[in-house]
Amino acid sequence: MKMDAQKEGFPKGIKYIVWNEAAERYSYYGMRSILVIFLTQYLMIEKNTALSDYHLFAGLCYLFPVIGAYISDRFFGKYKTILWLSIVYCIGHLFLAVFEHSYSGFYAGLMLIAVGSGGIKPCVSAHVGDQFKPHQKELLRKVFDLFYFMINFGSFFSTMITPWTLKHYGPALAFGIPGVLMAIATFIFWLGRNEFVHVPPTGKQQHGTAAVLFSAVKNFSKKEDKGILGGALIDHPVQAVEDVKAAMGVIKIFAAISVFWALFDQHGSSWVLQAKEMNLDVNIFGWQGTLLPSQIPALNPIMVMILIPFFTFGVYPFVKKVFGYEMTPLRRMGWGMFVAAASFVFVAVYQQFLDGGDKISVLWQVIPFLVITMAEVMVSITGLEFAYTQAPRSMKSTIMSMFLLTVFFGNMITAFISKINVFDGPAFFLFFAALMGAFALFFAFMAKGYEMKDYMEE
């Protein structure tokens, strides 16, 4: 007789994974919340260079998942990859705390955190999935809901607490405390080693993505009008080649999404520097106090938790019922890009006032934060759904890695624009608004010719 999945409870190993993830996300978002302030005020790095370095770091955190997923799947397995890279992560935080006055030491710490965080990112959710049996799908959904809640919950509190710690106790504690939490969580994760379901690495795949693409290039002259990947059919099964074709179609759609991240991740960099110029003395429902510039991004996780059900159960059904307009994943992402562009128009207007000598209240940033978070719900969360449903079973890890790479490329765009220092003041924000608008149109053109698929039942 099959046991009722609802009465089983979560697998024993889940609690060890959840604590590791919670501590990692707390330390990551807390550290990022003060990074641009630390670079400009403590290391005395010029504003545009600090912005560039911030986005270079953020981008690397989304480049290394590709490597982390590869070494996990092919060589070491998820448990060992998470454990070893968690240790690297802790060492990175130690560097940040110890080398608060050393440019090279601090940046070495950032690189270690990028390697650790990026390497862990693609392994944790997959390791969670490995702990569940086929009849426990409902429990699996609940644990992912718990994960998402803890990420946003931890992000809010770390973004509020870490800037306060930096102001009152200095960089060593501000960067060190999250590192201690990560070290404790790593130890707890190690304690669960005998409770986990360990799925062994697959080793080298004869018909993997890289192998198919290599064969397509090698046999290009022999493709016999069977498409650009036709040459791969000489060395690989038809299904393997078709799976890679499906992946390439999704990657084309992802190309335009990269620019969204060039805008979104600035809520922790250029928007923080703008908040620094604003009047931080506030009166909120009778509470009077002074906010810190790097605390303002805490608005994002709170708004995410509110807006997800609002859009899922309110906006999307309303648009369909009243206007007869189905908000498909592609339409959500397309409109979300235009919404993201609008948020930068707001901050450009604010910057115009600030440059003119008007010290406007930081509470005005609530509006663009609301707008950019709406865009996040429409683009980012929908993009994850799109990536999963449009990927054949053999390509799901690859497609998810490609989605994470859009974050990398988006941050590289911002890092480059900040570094060359062509735009200043309102023009800086208006440039990104225009860039996003142009790529939203490009996305609409690409999406029009895309044929939706459903690999959920494979």
Mean pLDDT, 10 residues at a time, over the chain (458 residues)?
Answer: 52 80 83 94 93 95 86 84 92 94 94 89 76 72 70 86 94 92 88 85 71 75 62 75 76 86 96 96 88 94 90 91 90 96 98 96 97 94 76 67 87 95 94 96 87 59
Q: How many residues does the chain have?
A: 458
- The token pair at 278 is 């604003």
- The token pair at 344 is 């930068």
Domains and CATH numbers, the chain: 12-196 (1.20.1250.20), 222-451 (1.20.1250.20)
pLDDT of 458: 42
Q: Which residues contact 16 (CB under 8 A, 6 or more apart)?
A: 188, 189, 191, 192, 195, 196
pLDDT of 400: 72
The b/e string for 35-49 (b: 16+ C-beta within 10 A; e otherwise) is bbbbbbeebebeebb
pLDDT of 249: 76
- The token pair at 263 is 């805008």
CA distances from 175 to 29, 36, 271, 301 (A): 11, 13, 21, 21
β 281-284/287-290 pair status: antiparallel
CA dist., res. 444 & res. 453, Å (int): 18
